[in-house]
Amino acid sequence: MFEIRDQQLRLMFLAHLVREVQRSADESRPPPAGLVPEQVACLRSLTTDDLVRLSEMPEPRVVVEVDTRAFAHGLRQADYVGKRARQIEHFVRHGATAAMLTQLFKLSANDVVLKRRLFAGAHEKLRRPPMPPASTREAIQARWWSIAGSRGDGARPEDLEALHAIFPTYTYATLWAVVHEFDP
């Protein structure tokens, strides 16, 4: 919990409180918790000048309480979204196909086009990558087996990133083609 001392923020909060009081009255709902009827009536009668003056005074104190559990959840979500965005950018910049992006990240066709334009440039032509020599393909498949194992849930972006780190000269499209070379 912390106190808001900035006059502009206090004014924003008080204006929001007045809107909430008005909205609750319009919708025949009880006012925000903690307000007594006299305070509600006073808030509804305040002019803009009154609100500005009130925001400049030290009282009433405006204090914000943060729901720490919800805040922690929001931080985890923001971290996940940021990580996913960085992963998508990495895959696009390193030659992932539209089918890969759709399958791995559940992107729509429009999102794939937008990401490619944003990260790889609209002028780049993606062609089918040439397959590496047989000995390299065997090495890639052996490494893939050690990374992904016998997991039946398919390829994960993290697994492909690990494979790409070992074989950085090949695009994701090439690695994908080699890994799935013997798929039915």
Q: What tens digit of pLDDT does each residue of 18-29 get?
A: 998 888 888 888
| Letter string b/e over residues 89-120, b meaning 16 or more CB atoms within 10 A of that residue's CB | ebbbebbbbbebbeebbebeeeebeebbeeeb
Give the confidence band of 56 by pLDDT, cuts at 50, 70, 90.
Answer: very high
Helix axis angle for 98-105 and 157-166, nearest 10°, is 130
pLDDT of residue 76: 96
Pick 145 or 152 by higher pLDDT. Answer: 145
Give the confidence band of 125 by pLDDT, cuts at 50, 70, 90.
Answer: low
pLDDT of residue 2: 86
Quote the distance between the C-alpha of residue 176 and its chain's center.
26
Residue 153 confidence (pLDDT) above 60: no
Domain spans in the chain, listed from the N-terminal domain onward: 2-64, 68-184
Rounded Cα gap, residues 92 and 86, in angstroms: 10
Across the chain, what does the average pLDDT equal? Answer: 87
Rounded-to-10 torsion of CA 85, 89, 144, 173? 140
pLDDT of residue 123: 42
Rounded Cα gap, residues 47 and 31, in angstroms: 19
Give the confidence band of 84 by pLDDT, cuts at 50, 70, 90.
Answer: very high
Rounded Cα gap, residues 65 and 47, in angstroms: 27
